[in-house]
A and B are shown apart, each in its own frame.
Chain A
Amino acid sequence: MTTDDMTPEDRDTLHALGRALPRVAPPPGLGDRIAAAAMADEPRAQVIPIEQARSWRRRTVVASLAAAACAAALAVGITLSVTGPAQPDAPLTASTAVVATQAVDKVTGTASLYGADGPGGQVQVSLRDVPAPPAGHHYEVWVLEKGSDQMTSVGTFTPASSDVDLTLPLPTPADYAAVDISVEPNGGAPAHSGTSLAGGKFRA
């Protein structure tokens, strides 16, 4: 190790720690070999019988239409039923781990883009340990296109439990860089509140 920019005390500390934990780097490419081994590993994704998957999708569509109808008829809030995390048909474009923005929150999860570079693309967001929003607030999902400094809203939700699974349509075919879940006041301005619950950057 190059220690010419360290104090003697720092060097002593590193030397002492090295007695227990060797200061050796793994060989180059080990991470790639592990990733390749995982890729070759048996797929672990949940397999849903084709008829069941079709049934789930049909229920989602029906529920969405019903919700839209309610929205047109009522000036108050609506309830939209969303099924569990059935995988979209389009190919996976990118995914990311989603983590809490504030240290006090423990939200974790994933966000995956499906068919994001074409029409009908979707973002699937699965969150765990989601706290109830503050009174009079809800959550909103946003995406950020690569090269852009503006996020676009893709949907809002108020969690019924601490686990949330959403599949939302993307606004346009694009190369998306990130996802963000914000805390928004009910009936507030359309702009992002500036307060985020969680987020993550996509990796292809």
Chain B
Amino acid sequence: MSGAQAIAVPAGTLARRAGAARVYDHPVVVDPLDVVDPVAADIALIRAMAAGDQDALRGLYDRYGRMLHAIAMRITGDGQAAEECTQDAFMAAWRSAESFDPGRSRPSTWLCAIARNRALDAARAQARRPVPHDEIEPDGRAPDTADLVADADAAVQVAEAMAKLPPTQLDVLQLSYFDGLSQSQIADRLSLPLGTVKSRMRLALDRMRDVARDLGLEA
């Protein structure tokens, strides 16, 4: 907002506020994870980060940490490097949150691109180091950069497809996909009925199956 703002208060408001507290028996409170539109929730988190809210950074990590780490792992192929890239990516997002423009890209696109580029930089830096003889391919070439970029793009496409899932479905899918939990374990972890977990997983996998097909990942 720029400058002062005029706020029209309906007649009687001050009198009402000065009297007994107004109460409501059925609070309508939303949690970012319950919001139907994940993009709006992500934009809210990024704007909160821009305002210096570290909780928002943690919220963004909870949603995207696994995906960005997996992207970095796919590109670098090294656990330590993937961890460093993930941390670098979130710190870059933290420092540049003010410049994020939701009119130019989705939050997931922005975050995945940061992680992808950090990981590609790390992989290229690794490639510049002396390569042990047993890691050189039969024809004497080091791993191909074009292949690396293609792998990176495929990883980003899957991650972005995941990010488009409703947050409740993404929660369930991530606990299964990355953390290896069974649906019963997920139900316990999230304090949800098993049937709810199964239905969310079903919806998530139906959408992700189409993604796998479109990307030619199926055997």
Contacts and interface: CB of A to CB of B under 8 A. Distances in A.
A70 to B, nearest CB: 9
Contacts, number: 310
Interface in A100-154: 100-101, 103, 105-110, 112, 126, 128, 138, 142, 144, 149-154
Contact of B30 (A5, A101, A126): A101
A100 B21 contact: no
A200 B55 CA distance: 13
Interface string A64-99: 000110010011111111111100000000011111
Contact of B74 (A2, A21, A31, A33): A21
B2 interface: yes
B21 A5 contact: no
A97 B70 contact: no
A99 B44 contact: yes
Contacts of A190: 16, 22
Contacts of A100: 35, 37, 40
Nearest to B95: A41
Contacts of A177: 29
A50 interface: no
Contacts of A158: 7-10
Contact of B6 (A15, A81, A198, A203): A81
B71 A38 contact: no
B102 to A, nearest CB: 9
Nearest to B179: A25
B113 interface: no
Nearest to A105: B40
Interface residues of A, number: 105
A55 interface: no
Contacts of B179: 25
Given A14-B177, A165-B5, A187-B12, A5 B54 contact: no
Interface in B55-88: 55-59, 61-62, 65-67, 69-71, 73-74, 79, 82-83, 86-87
A19 B52 CA distance: 37
Interface residues of B, number: 97
A8 interface: no
B217 A19 contact: yes
A17 B158 contact: yes
A9 B119 CA distance: 32
Contacts of B136: none
A199 B30 contact: yes
B215 interface: yes
Contacts of A107: 40
B125 interface: no
A98 to B, nearest CB: 6
Nearest to A195: B28
Given A45-B52, A99-B41, A160 B7 contact: yes
13 contacts: A2-B180, A5-B198, A23-B180, A30-B86, A39-B54, A84-B5, A99-B30, A108-B47, A158-B7, A158-B8, A160-B8, A180-B30, A201-B29
Interface of A: 1-6, 9-10, 12-17, 19-27, 30-31, 33-35, 37-39, 41, 43-45, 67-68, 71, 74-85, 95-101, 103, 105-110, 112, 126, 128, 138, 142, 144, 149-161, 163-166, 171, 177-178, 180, 182, 186-187, 190-192, 194-196, 198-201, 203
